[in-house]
Amino acid sequence: MNTTQIIEARSGAVTDEMYVIARMEGKDIEYIREKVASGRVVILKNNLRTNSTPIAIGEGLKVKVNVNIGTTNKKSTIDEEIDKVRISEQAGADALMDLSTGSYIDDTRTSIIQTSHLPVGTCPIYQTGKNTLDKHKNIAKLSKEKMFSDIEKHCKDGVDFITVHCALTRFALMQLQQQKRLMGIVSKGGAMLACWMEATRKENPLYENFDELLDLLRSYDVVLSIGSALRPGCTQDSFDRAQSAETIVMGELVKRARETGVQVMVEGGGHIPLDKIIPTVKTIKEYTDFAPLFIHGPIVCDCAIGYDHITGAIGSSLAAYSGANFICSSRPMECLESATTVHIKNGITAAKISAQSADLAQEEENAVKRNKEIAIAKTEYDWKKQTENSIDATVFDGISPAKKKKPCTMCGAYCSMKSFKKVN
């Protein structure tokens, strides 16, 4: 059996990656090893990749932020994607997902992996579906062999985690059809598989051949992210019978993955009203034995079109506080237009604010220290420390040196504040 982080951790061994994580998180090395061994923490690091810094996602660690990039059938240049990589790194993203569906998918993926030091994830069925439609004009022609071939190609290229919609079963689809969901399936990968399953009347090949999938991922120590094919596309559909059925299967697959030495996390989210976020997150965590949770959104209302980064930030703050471990940043115009570097930066900044808010509420040591440093820096008018500890340091670029020397102009209370400090 090929070794992986979870296999090594269970044997009592500490890997180089675990040492890196312990330093980054400010945790004892044995704490990291035990969490990896239990499956409640995963380390994103393909064993073929040499240019990346590993990150860990899961229980007791800082909340991490992912950003989706990638070409579309309307915009397809590798240079633009590399620009997105650079802005993502500058804005503080912890990981990238290349969800390309345009031309040059292979070249785009390898260029992103070679350019960035961040962990990179993909959703291989996007490539399988595009190639199938290009060739046959019919998603029912999608084959299990092509699916697994693309998955292995991505792993060989060095991707650190992949989203695979292996928990979408015919039973879950039956629940979806019987309850007549308002928006049906909004997951691109989930929709492809559902169409294939309906056309062929066969079970999901990723579920049916799950052991083969695990053997493949274990060879590269690629983290399996079990995709949420039935996440709700509107608040009316939030955590319905269909999504519940898929989540139960996720729990089964998490257990099987861990038993065979494959690191695994689960996906969730979508559009969830504020009052349902805590119970939804807690239910997913319980069903999946507290596997790390990769949350999309949650978008807390459907009518704030063009402001998805705000509705997503509201939802992800509460989700992360409730137990989600990995936030997927939302762009302002998530579903309306292709991403620009400005959109990506705004989305990452909003997600970083969410992550920091959740970490602070959970009294994560680094978050508490950072916010205390900001408070001290503000009282001392220490612009350098404010810049160093700010989520978006670029906001200080537009402040002139002259203004930085002056006290707060909002209340003009510089003298009274100093006097108050002396009295107290």
Task: Supply the CATH number for residue 311's domain.
Answer: 3.20.20.540
The DSSP result for 345-386, as a single string, is HHHHHHHHHHHHHHHHHTT-HHHHHHHHHHHHHHHTT-HHHH
How far apart CA 273 and CA 275 sit, in angstroms, is 6
Residue 411's pLDDT is 52
> Are residues 172 and 222 located together in one domain of the fold?
yes
64-69 and 326-328 strand pairing? parallel
How far apart CA 383 and CA 401 sit, in angstroms, is 10
How far apart CA 255 and CA 237 sit, in angstroms, is 27
CB contact at 8 A, 356 and 312: no
Helix (H), strand (E) at residue 67: strand 64-69
What mean pLDDT is predicted for residues 96-110?
A: 95
- Percent of the chain, pLDDT > 90? 81
Please report which confidence band the pLDDT of residue 266 belongs to, taking 50, 70 and 90 as the band edges.
very high
> Are residues 51 and 133 located together in one domain of the fold?
yes
Please report which confidence band the pLDDT of residue 414 belongs to, taking 50, 70 and 90 as the band edges.
very low
Q: Given CA atoms 27, 32, 34, 35 in this order, what sign does their dihedral have?
A: positive
Please report which confidence band the pLDDT of residue 337 belongs to, taking 50, 70 and 90 as the band edges.
low
CB contact at 8 A, 96 and 121: yes
Picking from 132, 175, 178, 126, the residue whose alpha carbon sits closest to that of residue 153 is: 126
> Are residues 140 and 120 located together in one domain of the fold?
yes
Residue 393's pLDDT is 86
> Of 340, 362, 384, which marks where a domain is finished?
362
> Are residues 74 and 172 located together in one domain of the fold?
yes
Is 350 domain-assigned? yes
H-only helix segments in 92-204: 105-115, 124-136, 144-157, 170-179, 188-200
Residue 176's pLDDT is 94
Is 8 domain-assigned? no
Is 378 domain-assigned? yes
H-only helix segments in 227-340: 241-259, 274-287, 308-322
> Are residues 330 and 401 located together in one domain of the fold?
no
Give the position of tokens 């402001």.
307
Residues 6+ apart with CB under 8 A from 54: 17, 20, 21, 43, 44, 45, 119
How far apart CA 35 and CA 32 sit, in angstroms, is 5
pTM score above 0.75: yes
Residue 333's pLDDT is 81
CB contact at 8 A, 176 and 239: no
Please report which confidence band the pLDDT of residue 400 belongs to, taking 50, 70 and 90 as the band edges.
low
What mean pLDDT is predicted for residues 168-172?
A: 97
> Are residues 87 and 169 located together in one domain of the fold?
yes
Count of structural domains, the chain:
2
Picking from 124, 189, 121, the residue whose alpha carbon sits closest to that of residue 161 is: 121
Is 37 domain-assigned? no
> Are residues 132 and 60 located together in one domain of the fold?
yes
- The amino acid at 121: G
Is 236 domain-assigned? yes
Cis (ω within 30 of 0) for the bond into 298? yes
- Look up residue 287 and give its two tokens: 């069903």
> Are residues 99 and 132 located together in one domain of the fold?
yes
Residue 406's pLDDT is 54
Choose the weakest-confidence range: 57-61, 173-177, 281-285, 378-382: 378-382
pLDDT in tens, 75-94: 778 999 999 999 999 999 99
Is 64 domain-assigned? yes
> Are residues 189 and 255 located together in one domain of the fold?
yes
Is 242 domain-assigned? yes
Residue 419's pLDDT is 45
Number of Cβ within a 10 Å radius of residue 1: 9
pLDDT in tens, 232-251: 999 999 989 999 999 999 99
> Of 345, 362, 379, which marks where a domain is finished?
362
Is 34 domain-assigned? no
What's the domain range around 375? 366-423
pLDDT in tens, 16-52: 999 999 999 999 999 999 999 999 999 999 999 999 9
Backbone angles phi, psi at 365, to 5 degrees: -55, -45
Residue 401's pLDDT is 58
> Are residues 126 and 267 located together in one domain of the fold?
yes
| Separation in Å, CA 285 to CA 91, 108, 281, 334 | 29, 34, 6, 26
> Of 362, 379, 403, which marks where a domain is finished?
362
> Are residues 407 and 295 located together in one domain of the fold?
no
> Are residues 348 and 384 located together in one domain of the fold?
no
